[in-house]
């Protein structure tokens, strides 16, 4: 029998319930079409706002999808390291702390353990650098608070402890110098007071070397002038001829201070004109001798700021140049070394923006190289067959039989 084409199955007739449902849907759809504007406009506003927030939030997250996953902590160590680097790029104390925690659990026998340790130390140093900025501007409590953001459970916690101890030691020493200078001023030992105060210039803290040092010098000058006015024969002779002997004497002293400030600033610029680190630092030390309250004080402070920036640029340029040389080699290890080298340029320094831009480029290159390395197939290992080869046949096809001894 010939094969006949198979007819399609008949669809069952719609039931009464289905007909009612269709009729109801048609009626409600006409209502919805008629009143679409009652809900469309608010929905657009709400969805648009939520969409903008969601897109903006997603763009702020790391590029790798796994970094946004709840299982990121269970990801391979290479992915954890990448996510930690992306987190650290936000450059906040909290993001750096979270990046440190993210790589702290890399196992000791993991191939990425050494690299994780290097990055953990780098990020720890960045947090401590923020604390150093606070310490240098005179906020010891804030500096300690920032350093204590480094978790106590991580392997680099000892760096925070050591830095806090150093800050507290410098601060205590500066307070002793300040109190000693105040005591010498009270006793009228001007030379000893100046000699004691100068120790603040090399104490290792900008706040004590500038603000507190100028406080002492201002106090010393005021006390010295008052004592000289009371005891000096010149002041007493002036008192007999002038209606305002105190004012005349202080005016004369003010002129002398201005001349001294002008001379010191000129000397500071001469020293700094050498252009090297030693000359710039010598210029800064000389400019700090320009006392607060003199017309040259603001000018001296501006020069100090400029010379500090020049010192920072001179000191940081070798790091950036070395990082670029490493990155040009193109392999993963060299690029990672370049990133670590560039990260030695701290936030707020003149070359920081340039270094940070390079770091972002190199991090993307490093991620691509890691991804390529992980997806490359394993190369087959050549094996040597050590088995005894079969007996070779003679030219006529009859195998050769080895004689039995």
Final residue in a domain of this structure, among 98, 127, 155: 155
Task: Establish if 314 belongs to a structural domain.
Answer: yes
pLDDT of residue 234: 58
Mean pLDDT, the chain, integer: 76
Q: Which position has the higher pLDDT, 8 or 243?
A: 243
Question: Is residue 90 domain-resident?
Answer: yes
Which residues, in sequence order, are CB contacts of 64 under 8 Å at separation 6+? 79, 82, 83, 86, 367
Q: Report yes or no: 346 and 126 within 8 Å, Cβ to Cβ.
A: yes
Place of tokens 């406009």: 41
Q: What is the pLDDT of residue 296?
A: 85
* 336 in any annotated domain: yes
**CA 192 and chain centroid, separation:** 42
141: containing domain: 73-155
Asked if 345 and 355 touch (Cβ cutoff 8 Å), the reply is: yes
378/157: higher pLDDT:
157
Q: How confident is the model at residue 247 (pLDDT cuts 50, 70, 90)?
A: low
88-119 residue pLDDT tens:
888 889 999 999 998 888 888 888 888 888 88
pLDDT of residue 177: 96
**What is residue 141's predicted lDDT score, i.e. its pLDDT?**
96
pLDDT tens, residue by residue, 331-368: 988 998 999 888 888 777 888 889 988 998 998 888 88
Token duo for residue 301: 């402070």
> Is 272 within a domain?
yes
pLDDT tens digits for 123-167?
998 899 899 989 989 999 999 999 999 999 898 999 999 999 999
Q: How far is CA 259 from CA 17, 38, 44, 222, 305, in A?
A: 106, 81, 72, 17, 22
Give the tens place of pLDDT for each residue, 263-281: 999 999 999 999 999 999 8
Average pLDDT over residues 385-398: 51
Residue 266 lies in a domain: yes
Residues paired with residue 242 on neighbouring β-strands, in sequence order: none
Q: Does the residue 191 lie in any domain?
A: no
**Lowest-confidence range among 148-152, 174-178, 227-231?**
227-231
Report if residue 184 sits inside a domain: no
- Overall number of domains in the chain: 2
At residue 376, φ and ψ (nearest 5 deg) are -70, 135
Does residue 295 sit within a domain? yes
How many residues in total does the chain contain? Answer: 405
Looking at 155, 171, 206, which one is the last position of a domain? 155
**pLDDT at 243 (0 to 100):** 56
Write down which residue in 155, 175, 206 finishes a domain.
Answer: 155
Q: Closest Cα partner for 222 from 186, 268, 195?
A: 186
């Amino acid at each position: 029998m010939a094969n006949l084409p198979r007819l399609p199955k008949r669809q069952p007739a719609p039931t009464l319930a289905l007909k009612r449902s269709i009729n109801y849907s048609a009626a409600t759809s006409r209502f919805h079409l008629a009143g679409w504007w009652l809900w469309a406009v608010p929905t657009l506003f709400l969805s648009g706002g939520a969409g903008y927030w969601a897109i903006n939030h997603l763009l702020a997250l790391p590029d790798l999808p796994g970094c946004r996953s709840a299982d990121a902590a269970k990801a391979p160590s290479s992915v954890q390291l990448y996510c930690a680097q992306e987190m650290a790029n936000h450059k906040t104390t909290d993001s750096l702390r979270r990046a440190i925690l993210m790589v702290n659990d890399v196992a000791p026998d993991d191939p990425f353990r050494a690299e994780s340790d290097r990055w953990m130390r780098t990020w720890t140093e960045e947090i401590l650098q923020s604390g150093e900025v606070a310490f240098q501007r005179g906020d010891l409590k804030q500096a300690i608070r920032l350093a204590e953001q480094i978790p106590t459970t991580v392997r680099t916690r000892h760096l925070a402890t050591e830095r806090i101890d150093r800050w507290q030691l410098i601060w205590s020493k500066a307070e002793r110098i300040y109190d000693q200078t105040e005591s010498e001023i009270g006793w009228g030992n001007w030379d000893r007071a100046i000699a004691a105060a100068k120790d603040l210039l090399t104490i290792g803290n900008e706040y004590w070397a500038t603000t507190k040092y100028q406080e002492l010098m201002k106090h010393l000058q005021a006390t010295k002038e008052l004592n000289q006015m009371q005891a000096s024969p010149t002041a007493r002779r002036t008192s007999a001829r002038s209606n305002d002997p105190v004012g005349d004497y202080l005016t004369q002293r003010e002129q002398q201070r201005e001349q001294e400030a002008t001379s010191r600033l000129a000397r500071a610029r001469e020293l700094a004109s050498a252009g090297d680190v030693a000359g710039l630092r010598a210029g800064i030390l000389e400019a700090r001798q320009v006392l607060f309250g003199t017309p040259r004080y603001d000018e001296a402070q501006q020069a100090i700021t400029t010379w500090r920036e020049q010192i920072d640029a001179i000191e940081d340029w070798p790091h950036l140049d070395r990082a670029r040389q490493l990155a040009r080699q193109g392999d993963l290890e060299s690029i990672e070394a370049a990133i670590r080298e560039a990260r030695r340029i701290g936030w707020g320094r003149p070359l920081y923006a340039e270094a940070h831009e390079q770091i972002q480029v190199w991090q993307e290159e490093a991620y691509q190289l890691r991804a390529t390395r992980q997806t490359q197939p394993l190369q087959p290992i050549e094996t040597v067959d050590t088995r005894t080869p079969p007996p070779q046949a003679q030219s006529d096809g009859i195998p050769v039989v080895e004689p039995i001894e």
